[in-house]
């Protein structure tokens, strides 16, 4: 029958559309339901649009420093409409690519909202107001997440925005206060600050990027502060109120009440899952997330959940991997997810790339560890680029010198970390990295030099 499928995917974000494509490539008859735009948060309101703005900010920073490179440029300026038009164009092109892949793989796309009405049935309310039901052997829930907000007075005031609104501004504010010193908050801080917006960050915890290696966090904090972004840590926001120049953020810092103002206040305190409506089934939750096993299966043997709704690391590339695992299990394979190697990329200036254990985690798990470091200030390519801040840090066990974690703060760190991810996946040792010839002059040499440092014989470091 027309409305009978092997797999029905609810949600067309990274986890959902990849699961649909994988299932179709394995010979399944697949349907996907999306109530908004294919590509989900990552493509439309997250990873991609922010990286377009990050790249524009990088170009602008380079132009402002052009004199250092022997290039004369007069009065560079930001064209805000052109900036956001380029962002929209890139997003549109990639979204069209996803739509083409869905069509090319003969996946039935329903535009509307899906509701699970039984173990093998999904009801769809389409955009046109029609209601239809599909029968399906398997269901994959990939409903994603949305920006979280904090329960403080004033959150509803005009001018308080989330990352969604920040990506669709008509003009740049003169000043912004960002609540949250994690990945989202710091990326937007770098963007706004690069474009000349007076920027402040308020973080509740003792340091920015609290999930990352403490040494990386501390070094980045110093660099961002030097670039004239005000950062307040150990600071709990008490309220947001109207101010003389826009909005005032009142917070407690070390027992004292402080107040700073901004034309806009950006809430960047993380994300919360979105779970589709269910009727006739009782899927187990773990907190606010759907509880799944290592096969991405819920407490129903034919219902799976992937991506942000399932509560693993809230990263698009994790959702990709989870979607593949779920689809393979739907089609009869026995696949398991492995979270051992999950690269983490933060597009600040300079960038952060990390994979594996932090120093703190490694010391808790292992009796002894070895640490190697190499600064970009001693790297020829970094000096040529004029991007010589930061360092590479490798953590290894003391018995075999096996790589446990790689942490990079510096130029192109989000690209360089792929070598660290491969090293951990292959259980490489510091010797194997050190003995691998790296091209010169490249930033990647810093990883090789760092491995030599673990072995006690650094070449270009005293």
pLDDT tens figures, 312-353: 899 999 999 999 999 999 999 999 999 999 999 999 999 999
Tell me what percent of the residues of the chain surpass a pLDDT of 90.
93
Choose between 275 and 451: higher pLDDT: 451
258, two tokens: 């402080």
155 touches 247 (CB < 8 A) = no
- Strand 175-179 relative to strand 121-126, pairing: unpaired
Average pLDDT over residues 32-52: 94
Confidence of residue 277 (pLDDT cuts 50, 70, 90): confident
Cβ contact 458:444 at 8 Å: no
* pLDDT at position 2 over 80: no
Band of the pLDDT at 110, cuts 50, 70, 90? very high
182 assigned ligand-binding residue: yes
Single out the residue of 389, 376, 347, 409 nearest to residue 214, CA to CA. Answer: 409
Instruction: Judge whether 143 is annotated as a binding position.
Output: yes
Cα distances from 220 to residues 356, 386, 440, in angstroms, run 19, 17, 27
In Å, how far are 140, 190, 363, 394 from 6, measured between CA atoms? 11, 45, 47, 45
User: pLDDT band at residue 401, thresholds of 50, 70 and 90?
Assistant: very high
Task: Tell me what the mean pLDDT of segment 269-287 comes to.
Answer: 90
Give first-to-last CA distance, the chain, whole Å. Answer: 72
* Average pLDDT value for the chain: 95
Report whether pLDDT(181) > 90: yes
Query: Is 114 known to sit in a ligand binding site?
Result: yes
On the question of pLDDT at 85 being above 60, the answer is yes
Instruction: Categorize the per-residue pLDDT at 143 as very low, low, confident or very high, splitting at 50, 70 and 90.
Output: very high
| pLDDT surpasses 90 at 3 | no
Percent helix, strand and coil across the chain, each to the nearest 5:
35, 30, 35
Q: Is residue 203 a known part of a binding site?
A: yes
Q: What is the pLDDT of residue 279?
A: 84
- Residue range 47-56, pLDDT digits in tens: 999 999 999 9
Give the closest residue to 49 by CA, choosing from 97, 94, 16, 96: 94
Residue 51 is labelled as binding a ligand? yes
Active-site residue identified among 58, 317, 349, 440: 440
pLDDT tier at 1, thresholds 50, 70, 90 = low
- Asked if residue 211 has pLDDT above 80, the reply is yes
Going by C-alpha positions, the residue among 435, 426, 432, 405 that lies closest to residue 417 is 405
Look at residues 443, 461, 438, 346 and name the one whose alpha carbon lies nearest to residue 385. Answer: 443
> Could you read off the pLDDT of 183-202 as tens digits, one per residue?
999 999 999 999 999 999 99
144 is in an annotated binding site: yes
* DSSP character at residue 66: G
Residues above pLDDT 70, as percent of the chain: 100
Tokens 């908004």, residue located: 36
Q: Is 181 a known ligand-binding residue?
A: yes
Is 149 one of the annotated binding-site residues? no
Question: Would you say 184 is a known binding-site residue?
Answer: yes
pLDDT over 90 (residue 367): no
Query: What pLDDT, in 10s, does the model give residues 214-273?
Result: 999 999 999 999 999 999 999 999 999 998 879 999 999 988 999 999 999 999 998 999
> Is residue 58 flagged as an active site residue?
no
Contacts of 255 (CB under 8 A, 6+ apart): none
Distance CA(160)–CA(269), nearest Å, equals 13
CA distance 295 to 304: 8
**Is residue 384 classed exposed, middle or buried when 0-12, 13-18 and 19+ CB atoms within 10 A define those classes?**
exposed
For residue 462, pLDDT beyond 60: yes
Cα three-residue angle 217-221-226, rounded to 5 degrees: 155
The model carries a pTM of 0.95
Q: Going along 219-363, which residue ranges are E strands?
A: 230-232, 235-243, 246-253, 256-262, 264-267, 271-273, 277-278, 285-286, 289-290, 303-305, 344-346, 351-356
Nearest in space to 196 (alpha carbons), one of 218, 219, 217, 171: 171
């Amino acid at each position: 029958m027309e409305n009978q499928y092997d797999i029905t995917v609810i949600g067309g974000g990274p986890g959902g559309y990849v699961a649909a494509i994988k299932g179709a490539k394995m010979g399944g008859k697949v349907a996907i339901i999306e109530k908004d735009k294919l590509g989900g948060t990552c493509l439309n309101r997250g990873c991609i649009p922010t990286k377009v703005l990050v790249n524009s900010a990088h170009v602008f920073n380079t132009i402002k420093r052009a004199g250092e490179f022997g290039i004369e440029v007069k009065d560079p300026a930001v064209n805000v409409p052109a900036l956001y038009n380029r962002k929209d164009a890139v997003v549109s092109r990639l979204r069209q690519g996803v739509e083409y892949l869905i069509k090319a793989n003969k996946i039935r796309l329903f535009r509307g909202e899906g509701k699970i009405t039984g173990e093998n049935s999904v009801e769809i309310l389409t955009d046109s107001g029609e209601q239809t039901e599909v029968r399906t052997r398997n269901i994959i829930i990939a409903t994603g997440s949305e920006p979280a907000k904090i329960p403080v007075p004033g959150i509803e005031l005009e001018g308080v925005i989330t990352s969604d609104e920040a990506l669709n501004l008509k003009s740049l504010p003169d000043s912004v206060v960002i609540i949250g010193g994690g990945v989202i908050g710091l990326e937007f801080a770098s963007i706004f600050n690069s474009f000349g917006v007076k920027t402040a960050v308020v973080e509740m915890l003792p340091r920015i990027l609290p999930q990352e290696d403490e040494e990386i966090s501390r070094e980045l904090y110093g660099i961002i502060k030097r670039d004239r972004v005000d950062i307040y840590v150990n600071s709990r926001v008490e309220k947001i109120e109207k101010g003389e120049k826009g909005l005032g953020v009142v917070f407690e810092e070390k027992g004292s009440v402080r107040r700073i103002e901004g034309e806009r206040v950006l809430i960047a305190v993380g994300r919360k899952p979105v779970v589709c409506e269910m009727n006739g089934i009782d899927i187990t939750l773990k907190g606010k997330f759907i509880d799944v096993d290592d096969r991405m299966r819920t407490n129903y043997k034919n219902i799976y959940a992937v991506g942000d709704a399932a509560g693993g690391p809230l990263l698009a590339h994790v959702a990709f991997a989870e979607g593949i695992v779920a689809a393979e299990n739907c089609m009869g394979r026995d696949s398991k997810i492995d979270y051992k190697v999950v690269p983490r990329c933060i597009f600040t200036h300079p960038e952060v790339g990390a994979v594996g254990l932090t120093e703190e985690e490694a010391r808790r798990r292992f009796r002894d560890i070895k640490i190697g470091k190499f600064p970009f200030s001693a790297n020829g390519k970094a000096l040529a680029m004029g991007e010589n801040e930061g360092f590479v840090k490798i953590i290894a066990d003391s018995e075999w010198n096996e790589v446990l974690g790689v942490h990079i703060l510096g130029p192109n760190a989000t690209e360089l970390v792929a070598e660290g991810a491969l090293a951990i996946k292959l259980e490489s040792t510091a010797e194997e990295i050190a003995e691998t010839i790296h091209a010169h002059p490249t930033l990647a040499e810093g990883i090789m030099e760092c491995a030599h440092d673990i072995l006690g014989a650094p070449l270009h470091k005293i």
